Amino acid sequence: MRRTPLAALLLAGVSFTTAGAAPCGVFGVTIPRDGRTLGALERKLGCTFTAVRWFQDWREPFDLPYARALTRERRALEVSWQPRILRGGAYVGVPYRSIAAGEHDAYVRAFARAVRTLGRPVSITFAPEMNGDWGAYQLGQKNTPQDFVRAWRHLHDVFRQERANVRWVWTPNILYPTARASYRALYPGDAYVDEVGLDGYNWGTTNPWNRWLTFEQTFAPSIRAVAALTRKPIQLGEVSSAERGGSKAGWIRDLCRTLPKYPQVKRLFWFHIRDQNVDWRLSTSQAALDAFKSCVRR
């Protein structure tokens, strides 16, 4: 996706924030870095997201201009850092063992120094959904859980050496039957993790092998599993529902009713992105937008 150069936005004095709008409660947003989508969504909702999450691939420098534009508005920042490289029109995963061995340290240190230059804390989710079986950097014969843990700990140590102000957020996918490793096998340890995240979606009937699931059916087993693993605070890093197969607005209302049962969940990032298969954005219907606005007011 082509994005507007943030340097140009900064020079133009562009502000993402809806002036005078109240915060969107416990909700953050995962969003494209295009300089337009965030402000447009907030104007529709009439509230401001105090936390913003975005994606960056391997070899891509930390997006300091974008981060500065957001911190100028006192937003919390989170980077979903994916160890993959686009090559020949397809993504290729960066082996965890090569990261753990220090083969990418020049790039990693430059990334860490850019974060330090920002002068504000940044949360980093390295290799989100590492327990999956659909992405370029996930587990396989040459990418073991042990390799992942060693890579995570190495990155943590390098950022600490560079004095970068980082919170490390370990974010697997929600539990599913064909996962290649348990949460426990992939957990780097409390000394290397500041927060635990979970990514999960209600796919509805967008494909033949899924069915409509409530918010609690989607997340409850995984929340219990990570709560048994660690007492670190929990966030939901990617949350959304499809429209097909039920009521997305009803799903959002159910989320709002159910969330107080899980006080360990401190923040949710709505996944406001349309991918090639499903439109996960809040703006897929006016009913969904209205349900979200009602939830924020509650």
In the chain, beta strands by DSSP E: 22-23, 27-30, 47-48, 51-57, 76-82, 84-87, 90-93, 122-126, 166-170, 195-202, 234-241, 265-271
Distance between CA atoms of residues 67 and 115, nearest Å: 9
Q: Which residues pair with 77 in a beta bridge?
A: 52, 122
Q: Which of 42, 78, 129, 195 is catalytic?
A: 129
Query: Is the CB of residue 122 less than 8 Å from the CB of residue 169?
Result: no
Under DSSP, the state recorded for 52 is E
Under DSSP, the state recorded for 206 is S
Chain centre distance of CA 108: 20
Distance between CA atoms of residues 196 and 84, nearest Å: 22
Q: Catalytic residue at 216?
A: no
Q: Which of 78, 195, 238, 243 is catalytic?
A: 238
User: How far, in Å, are 91, 111, 175, 280 from residue 198 at the CA level?
Assistant: 23, 24, 9, 16
Q: Catalytic residue at 129?
A: yes
DSSP assignment of 33-50 equals SSSSHHHHHHHHHTEE-S
Distance between CA atoms of residues 169 and 166, nearest Å: 9
Q: Which residues, in sequence order, are CB contacts of 8 under 8 Å at separation 6+?
A: none
- The two beta strands, 84-87 and 122-126, are unpaired
Query: Which residues does the annotation mark as catalytic?
Result: 129, 238
